[in-house]
Structure 1
Amino acid sequence: MPATMMPERQSLPARRRLPLRQILCLLPIAVVAVWVIGHWSLIGSGARQLLDANPYWLLAAVATTGLGWVAVSFARQGTVLERLPPGRLFATQFAAGAANHLLPSGIGASAVNIRFMTGCGLPAARSSAALALYFLAEATARIGLLLVLLVAFPEALRIGPLLPDRIGAALPLTVGAAVCALVVAVLAIRPVRRIVRSFLVTALTDARSLHARPSRALALWGGSVAFPVLQAAGLAAVAVAVELDVPPGHVVLAYLAATCLAAVIPSPGGIGSVDAALVIALVATGAPADAATSAVLAYRFITVWLPLIPGALVLGTLVRWKIV
């Protein structure tokens, strides 16, 4: 074999090697582009609702959406003792919004945040525990706010007329039975019980350590409360912008009730489940169905569709820089 053939043969594997990280950088952008094309009619409907709306209140809704990512960043920092890079943390939360539209039930955002925390040097077990603590704090804050507003506005939500009598009477029993069945299943299956016990021990240990530091506890609970408040304020601003004849406090209550209900329905980015729940909740507060639909389409355009492409670009950049 001539010696001149050896360098060429050795260079073949290098030529055939796929630029994997470059492909991963472009993958979120490509998937989101396909997602946007598939939902183009819904995006167009939301954009049309904004044409005749008050621009100043729409800007207020955009501002509350941006502040929501800041609140989530504080809450995420509050789940770990180590100091996370603030700029990268905020960029990760912005990018996680785009990733959340690829998989149901927040799996995409969770995967991005776990990758970010492990990249910052946290073990996988502690990253998972931090994620669980965030979900627990956010759910507790959201449900707590909902209960406070239900007490403050007891007559605001009139769900009864929207449901058949049998469904309205059976709904609390159905939800209670489903929760009991889930608890029994977790306790009865030994491997699942062992995994849950080990996970809870790690999570509770970290939670005690975090609450021993006031700055971390304030970041966790302050961010967890501020995020749903800001999101609800955004919907209230859109409702005022499109002249929806519903008091702002009732709109906030409708948002909290709808998002708590939609959380049990797994869909990527809450597309469909959140939209329908928001429309039903606004109608339950006394809004006309067509006006409620217009307000929800405009609100979802601002909070979901408008940041989607920029979020995908940021996600691709974070993948390229090996941050996630």
Structure 2
Amino acid sequence: MLLVAVAAVRHHAVLAEGFVRLRGAEWPWLLAAAGATCLTWVAAAAARQGAVTERLPGRRLLATQFAAGAANHLLPTGLGAGAVNLRFLTVCGVALARSSAALALYLLAEGVARLALLGALLLAFPDALRLGVLLPSGAGGPLLLAAGAVVVLAAGTVAGVRRLRTAVCSFLRTALGEARSVHRRPARALALWGGALAFPALQATAWIAVGRALGLPVPPAHMALAYLAATVAVALVPTPGGLGSVEAALVVALVAAGGAAGPATAVVLAYRIISVWLPLLPGALTLGALVRLKVI
């Protein structure tokens, strides 16, 4: 929060311009963005159902995805949503090991789908982003080196600690067994991968609609590419709900796609208000109700 506050003070003029531009937004496009945001919860519910073989109660599952969004702003790196869904699955009678495997399968499918969309757009529009704006000169090597060091350190820790190695191997066996069971049922596999693909696609649709509402002169495909690139880049930044990191990455990505800083900031502010801040209080109330009703 301190870093976000410092960044906001340093760029207060751009933020002020962004808030001023929000007054001229076209409401039909903003309503379309809100509708696409609501559909993301449906897509998440479909993917969660596809990750387990058991039939889950549909209304409770959908309400849980709505509540998980609020929980996601309490813990870093998506842990809030993961905890809510893990608890929901165990209450539904799915064993803890299998619930954890289903959660990992969902995260894998969503990550693969997001990267696949990003890769397809990069192939279709290779010049849409000015990568020099996104990545400073000479930063690629250190970033790859740091990522490789983290992977090697994690693998070495798992290999060197016997109890941890046993737990990881047991989890992987359970996860692979669950993945095989799910993919033997076409309806479950379709729900898993269809929901995982629809989730980032609907997010990008809401993002494009906000851009249209504010008259941002960036082609829709380029906006979608900027959104996917920014969200992939900040996926591992440990801030609750991506607070600060997502906003900064989205502004930088929009500028890299050809937008000006002021309009790009207005688009990011409007998008985050619709997708994060407006659902936050209803989501928190839903979360409390689900806890009291022992749904989670």
- When the two structures are superposed, what TM-score results if normalisation uses the length of structure 2? 0.90
Structure 2 counterpart of 1:237: 209
Structure 2 counterpart of 1:218: 190
2:70/2:281 contact within 8 Å kept: yes
Q: 1:217 to 1:169 in 2, by over 3 A?
A: same
The amino acid of 1:87's aligned partner reads R
Structure 1 counterpart of 2:4: none
Structure 2 counterpart of 1:30: none
Gaps of 5+ in 1: 1-38
Structure 2 counterpart of 1:265: 237
1:49/1:298 contact within 8 Å kept: no
Instruction: State how 1:24-173 maps to structure 2 within 5 Å.
Output: 49-168=21-140, 170-173=142-145
1:235/1:255 contact within 8 Å kept: yes
1:46/1:301 contact within 8 Å kept: no
The amino acid of 1:122's aligned partner reads V
Q: Give the alignment's Cα RMSD to 1 decimal.
A: 2.1
Instruction: State how 1:276-295 maps to structure 2 within 5 Å.
Output: 276-295=248-267
2:18/2:265 contact within 8 Å kept: no
Return the alpha-carbon distance in structure 2 between the equivalents of residues 292 and 57 of structure 1. 16
Q: CA deviation at 1:136?
A: 0.6
Q: 1:177 to 1:283 in 2, by over 3 A?
A: farther
Return the alpha-carbon distance in structure 2 between the equivalents of residues 147 and 240 of structure 1. 24
Q: 1:291 to 1:89 in 2, by over 3 A?
A: same
SS in 2 for 1:122: coil
The amino acid of 1:133's aligned partner reads L
Q: CA offsets, 1:269-297, max 9 Å, x none? A: 11111111111111111111121111101
2:17/2:262 contact within 8 Å kept: no
Q: CA deviation at 1:168?
A: 4.5
Structure 2 counterpart of 1:318: 290
Return the alpha-carbon distance in structure 2 between the equivalents of residues 44 and 303 of structure 1. 20
Instruction: State how 1:171-182 maps to structure 2 within 5 Å.
Output: 171-182=143-154
Correspondent of 2:270 among 291, 298, 311: 298
Return the alpha-carbon distance in structure 1 between the equivalents of residues 75 and 149 of structure 2. 27
Return the alpha-carbon distance in structure 1 between the equivalents of residues 154 and 119 of structure 2. 23
Structure 2 counterpart of 1:228: 200
Identity among equivalent pairs (%): 60
Pick which of 73-82 and 160-169 moved more: 160-169
Which structure has the larger Rg? Answer: 1
Return the alpha-carbon distance in structure 2 between the equivalents of residues 94 and 47 of structure 1. 27
Is residue 2:219 matched to residue 1:254?
Answer: no
Q: CA offsets, 1:123-174, max 9 Å, x none? A: 1111111111100110111111111111111111112145442224544444
Q: CA deviation at 1:48?
A: 5.9
1:137/1:224 contact within 8 Å kept: yes
Gaps of 5+ in 2: 1-7
Return the alpha-carbon distance in structure 2 between the equivalents of residues 307 and 44 of structure 1. 24
Q: 1:85 to 1:47 in 2, by over 3 A?
A: farther
Structure 2 counterpart of 1:3: none
Pick which of 107-116 and 157-166 moved more: 157-166
SS in 2 for 1:102: coil
Q: Across the two proteins, how many residue pairs are aligned to each other?
A: 284
Structure 2 counterpart of 1:206: 178
Q: CA offsets, 1:158-204, max 9 Å, x none? A: 12145442224544444344434433443343332222111010010
1:160/1:168 contact within 8 Å kept: no
